[in-house]
Amino acid sequence: MKSQTKKINNRAHFNYYDSFANKNWMPSKHEDDSSIDFFSIPDYAVTILEGKNKVSQLFVYMRKVSIENNDITIAGIGDVVTHINFRRKGYGVELLNQALEFISDKADFALLCTDIDKLGNFYRLAGFKPLKKTYYFMDKFGFEKTESGGMYMRLSDCPKIDNILNPDIKLHVGRSNF
């Protein structure tokens, strides 16, 4: 097993990685319109290979947010997928561990959006905890939307991260293309 992390430089590069998720999980939610560039192109792809075959992959979206006048870097983790023939063999957890190691010195906080009832136990294996608060984003039309069900992991001991977890302080994670 070998892992690799690649910077995603453009839409064609992203489409190459996104095709794996489309074939092995579900059709992409990402727009083909290259003028929409907020969350549509991730910053990094982390993959696990067996020989030359890609068996597991996720995307990392780096975002700077300001909460209570404190700048915090959030690493959003999304589109986590493992080829169906390689599931339940530890590849997904190893993939998350590789991603967390990669972002540990680049972000203060890791956030993933997930169905906690369905996948929460899987993400807990890598150390994620339920966020227990609603977070906000702007959709592709500029309307504010809310989500719950996120999970998080602290990546630094910085006290400003407590603001993210404070239920009375609004967490706005940026723009999305869904």
The mean pLDDT value for 64-72 works out to 79
Q: How many domains does the chain have?
A: 1
Region of residue 88 (left: phi > 0; alpha: psi -120 to 50; beta: else):
left
**Cβ-based neighbour number of residue 115 at 10 Å:** 8
pLDDT at position 36 over 80: no
CA dist 125 and 81 (Å) reads 16
Q: What is the pLDDT of residues 128-171, one digit of tens each?
A: 999 888 888 877 778 888 888 788 999 988 777 887 888 888 78
The mean pLDDT value for 32-37 works out to 43
Closest among 154, 82, 93 to 125, alpha carbons compared: 93
Q: Mean pLDDT check: name the lowest of 38-42, 43-47, 79-83.
A: 38-42
pLDDT at position 57 over 60: yes
Global pTM value: 0.78
Q: Which two tokens stand for residue 7?
A: 């910077």
Domain that holds residue 60: 2-175
Check which CATH number belongs to the domain holding 6 and give it: 3.40.630.30
CA dist 23 and 5 (Å) reads 20
pLDDT mean across residues, the chain: 79
CA dist 86 and 28 (Å) reads 21
